[in-house]
Copies of this chain bind each other. A is one copy, B any other.
Amino acid sequence: MTHKKYNIEELAKKIGVSKTLVSFVLNNKADKYGVSKATQKKVQAAIKKLGFQPSSSARMLRLKKSNLIGLVVADIGNPFFAQIAMQIEQHADKAGYRIIIANTHEDPKKEIDLLNALIHSQGVDGVILTTSLKAPNSLKALMPPRYPLILLDRKLSGIAASTVGIDNFEGSHEMTKHLIAGGAKKIGLLTISPGYISPIKDRVNGYKKALEDAGIKFEPELVQEISFSQIEKDVFEAVNLLYGHKEIDGLFVLNNQIARHCLQTFEKMDIKIPHDILFSSFDDNELFSLYNPSISAVMQPVEKLGELAFEELARLIGEKDSDKKIAHEQVGLKPELIIRNSSKR
């Protein structure tokens, strides 16, 4: 292999054919256009020998197809999203797509800017999005009609897009029920900002419903919102308030990052779980299984979520290409309750 970078024209000249032929072979259209086998062989050989790589920017410009997909996530630092991103990359790679990853840090303005750049400037063929938006207007304004978009983890009402996520209401409902069954009568709930995103709302509702089912009165002061940007501080204060002053006997937290800081706080404040309070979290991870006591969690099927998000997007892109109508699916996978030792005595 040599260092010289050829373009299709030079390559064609070198072989002694026109660039049309090279292009046909390159795009597996040689047979379709009736290129002789001999020529095909010759071209193939040269492509391989010289390691020719067609310029994707030229191709993009010509075809309006980038084979790039945008992955716009609210917090790539959260292992939950990191794992899904991994899965998506893996499936995309198999299908010949490359992933451009972007992190919004839960900032709606940043999200819009990023989407704009990705869709209109980079020309990605589709986007998988974990939105932090409260309202759909700004998103709607920037989306071309029938643009392939998958909403991941978070629904956004007013947007007609396929959504891949779990049934958050049920996961939360089941886990709260479990805590109550274990004897908890006063269960604190730690949510995370922004509180308006759909999974959080659904989880809070699942919690409320479980209380109601059990005839326990819902107390708003037992629900504390942890700010995304200062988790450590907020968790400490919330636990202090809920355990120290409200005397909760159970605590359910809505994400794994919060759970981590709870464990730290428990150690600092010498709170023993499950003895002093029953404890459980959303989003399983390895820490939860190895910690002592092991932590009960509502597990999301991460591999499945990533796979589905990509496959669904690929379908939309395909449909767009062939100009069929786009059907939007709402996928609500079942979460799994992992009951370990932190939530029962």
Contacts and interface: CB of A to CB of B under 8 A. Distances in A.
Contacts of A83: 77
B103 A93 contact: yes
Contact of A5 (B53, B55, B77, B144): B144
Interface in A251-269: 260, 263-264
Interface string A1-37: 1010100000000000000000000000000000000
A56 B141 contact: no
Contacts of A82: 79, 82, 86
A61 interface: yes
Interface string A46-83: 00000101111110110000101000000011010011
Question: For the side of the interface on A, what is the size category?
Answer: 35 or more
A315 interface: no
A291 B82 CA distance: 22
A120 B86 contact: no
Contacts of A120: 5, 51, 53
A123 interface: yes
A292 interface: yes
Contact of A55 (B3, B90, B118, B123): B123
A158 interface: no
Interface in A98-129: 98-103, 116-118, 120-123
Contact of A89 (B55, B60, B102, B122): B102
A60 B102 CA distance: 20
A251 B122 CA distance: 49
Given A3-B145, A51-B120, A89-B101, 9 more contacts: A51-B116, A55-B121, A57-B66, A68-B100, A76-B85, A85-B101, A98-B100, A99-B101, A100-B100
